[in-house]
Structure 1
Amino acid sequence: QLAEQLRQQKLQAQQEAEAKRQQQLAADQAAQLAAQKAAAAKQKQLQQQQAEKQKQQQLADQQKQQQLKEQQQEQQKQAEADAQKKADVQKAAKAKAQADAAAQAKKLDVERRTRLAQMQGSAGGEGSTGNGLAKSGTGSGSGGTATSPGYADKVRRVVRPNISWGGETEGLETVISVRCSPTGTLLDAQISRSSGNSAWDDAALRAVQRSNPMPQDVDGKTPTSFKITLRPAG
């Protein structure tokens, strides 16, 4: 009977130990499950926070890109406005320059026609070639160097072949002052009145310079100073 009693006590102790072990195992499993749930919740929270951070960053990037786009559009708009303003200023300046040039050309034409009328009145008519000769005063006296009536034709026959000109002809007239030695040697030739066309002026001056020596007058001497009026149209 004592042995049975001891066996029962031992069995009861074993059962209690097993029950206690099962309770501890259940507690450990519950703690492990709770820890897993806590870790999962924390991971989910971190993921949500990261997603929200990315969302905020994307929103900030979009706002920055929009601001940059608006800034570029504003700069483009300002550049176009500046370019248009510059073009308007240049257009106005060009129109003014053209108007000034036209007014100056008209003024020069009036002056040229006035001087031509004065020269024709004082120096006589010109030949059919459109080139003429006028005397020019050379000292303090009023008479100047006189030329014979036929001397202009002599000068034309010498100068005319030396004219090389392929440009426009209408309205061009250049007056060149000439100084010569009594033997006809050309001492100096200068443009005393421009036609307004520098290319024709140069061509006329070169023609005179190539006509050295100048012809002698009926007295056997070349006038020491005179003016030659040249036109390209003959």
Structure 2
Amino acid sequence: MQPSRQHLEFAPPHTPGMLRAFALAILAHLVLVFILAVGVAWKRETPPATVEAELWANIPVEAAPPPPEPQPEPDPEPAPPLPVPPTPRPAPPPDAPSQADIALAKEKARVQKEKEQQKLELDRKLQEKQQKEKLEKDKLEKDKLQKAKDAKEKEAKEKLARDKAEKDKADKAKTADTAKQKAEKAAQAKAEAQKLEDLRQQNLKRMAGLAGSGDANAAGSAAKSAGPSASYSGRIRAKIKPNITYIETIVGNPTAEVEVRASPDGTILSRRIAKGSGNKSWDDAALNAIDKTGVLPRDEDGRVPSPMIIIMSPQTMIGN
């Protein structure tokens, strides 16, 4: 007994409302069964009833009496005889026309024929007149169209001639301008070439005078009226000489004349070969040396001549 008591003590408590839940479930099932039963009963069909009936006539109908016998038709009466028409009398022959009637008829026919001929003649003349007027009208229209066409062609030719004249004039003006520009450029180039040649000759003479030996291969200076100092050519040569890089074998003594333009502080602005040495590698080496130099030294008076012609040869720039 003790183990049973311990088991009951540790058993879970009963859930409250179990009886009420069972009662509600049973009630719901009963309602469902009732609804199904009522639905099945409504779907039943009533069997059709069978009825028999016999038809009887209310009043008897008597037979119709036989038709009466036909009466014989009476004989038709004979038709009355037709009346005989009277024989027509022959008409009297017409009277022969007289000579006057014949002449009058001929005169009427002649007049009628003349009228018809006159009418035909008038119609012919009217038709000829209409044709003539139509031909004249067509000719006038054709002449008018031809005149308009000729005027248009003439205007087109005049316009073409004007355009051609204007084009020729413009071409001549353009050719003249081109020739003038070419002449101006040629004169300018010639003047510049002459100026450079004069400058080169002056530099050669001046450098020869500075060297005291007549050597024209010394470093040049600017072409100014006052002239550079005696030591300026040596200073330029000393400035450019370390920047010359030339590793090829030198044949002879190629001399390049380089035109240099510089700012007042000595900065080189531009350089070009004024007269080539005939050795392209030496010309390139001279230009590269001037580019590496960058700035030219100033003269004793603090100025830098520009433009100047620098004469560069292997003997003056590389040799001792």
Q: Give, in angstroms, the shift of residue 45 of structure 1.
A: 1.0
Q: Tell me the amino acid that sits aligned with residue 140 of structure 2.
A: E
Q: Tell me the amino acid that sits aligned with residue 23 of structure 1.
A: V
Give the whole-Å Cα distance in 2 for the aligned partners of 1:228 and 1:7: 157
1:160 aligns with 2:251: yes
Q: Give, in angstroms, the shift of residue 123 of structure 1.
A: 6.8
The question of whether the paired residues in 1 share the 8 Å contact of 2:256 and 2:275 is answered with no
Among 62, 69, 89, which residue is 2:150 paired with? 62
Q: Give, in angstroms, the shift of residue 53 of structure 1.
A: 2.2
Match of 1:7 in 2: 96
Give the whole-Å Cα distance in 2 for the aligned partners of 1:76 and 1:199: 53
Among 170, 174, 184, which residue is 2:257 paired with? 174
Q: How does 1:50-199 map to 2 (within 5 A)?
A: 50-117=138-205, 120=208, 136-137=237-238, 158-160=249-251, 173-174=256-257, 194-197=272-275
1:30 aligns with 2:111: no
Q: Give, in angstroms, the shift of residue 197 of structure 1.
A: 4.3
The structure where strand makes up a greater share of residues is 1
The question of whether the paired residues in 1 share the 8 Å contact of 2:256 and 2:273 is answered with yes
Give identity over the alignment, percent.
20
Secondary structure, aligned partner of 2:274: coil
1:202 aligns with 2:285: no
The question of whether the paired residues in 2 share the 8 Å contact of 1:173 and 1:194 is answered with no
Match of 1:46 in 2: 134
Which structure is richer in relative contact order (CA contacts within 8 A, separation 6 or more)? 1
Q: Give, in angstroms, the shift of residue 195 of structure 1.
A: 4.5
Give the whole-Å Cα distance in 2 for the aligned partners of 1:114 and 1:137: 22
Gaps of 5+ in 1: 146-154, 164-171, 176-191, 209-226
* Residues 198, 161 of structure 1: alpha-carbon distance in 2 compared, 3 angstrom cutoff: closer
Q: Tell me the amino acid that sits aligned with residue 160 of structure 1.
A: V
Gaps of 5+ in 2: 1-91, 220-233, 259-269, 287-310, 315-320
Report Cα offsets for 1:139-192 as digits up to 9, x if no partner: 9xxxx87xxxxxxxxx9xx412697xxxxxxxx7436xxxxxxxxxxxxxxxx9
* Residues 24, 121 of structure 1: alpha-carbon distance in 2 compared, 3 angstrom cutoff: same
The structure where helix makes up a greater share of residues is 1
The question of whether the paired residues in 1 share the 8 Å contact of 2:257 and 2:273 is answered with yes
* Residues 63, 205 of structure 1: alpha-carbon distance in 2 compared, 3 angstrom cutoff: same
The question of whether the paired residues in 2 share the 8 Å contact of 1:126 and 1:132 is answered with no
Give the whole-Å Cα distance in 1 for the aligned partners of 2:313 and 2:111: 137
Q: Give, in angstroms, the shift of residue 196 of structure 1.
A: 2.0
Give the whole-Å Cα distance in 1 for the aligned partners of 2:238 and 2:182: 44
Report Cα offsets for 1:69-125 as digits up to 9, x if no partner: 333332232222222211221122112111111121122223333444565566786
- Compute the TM-score of the two structures, normalised by the length of structure 1: 0.52
Q: Tell me the amino acid that sits aligned with residue 283 of structure 2.
A: L
Give RMSD over aligned pairs: 4.5
Match of 1:168 in 2: none
Secondary structure, aligned partner of 2:238: coil
Match of 2:305 in 1: none
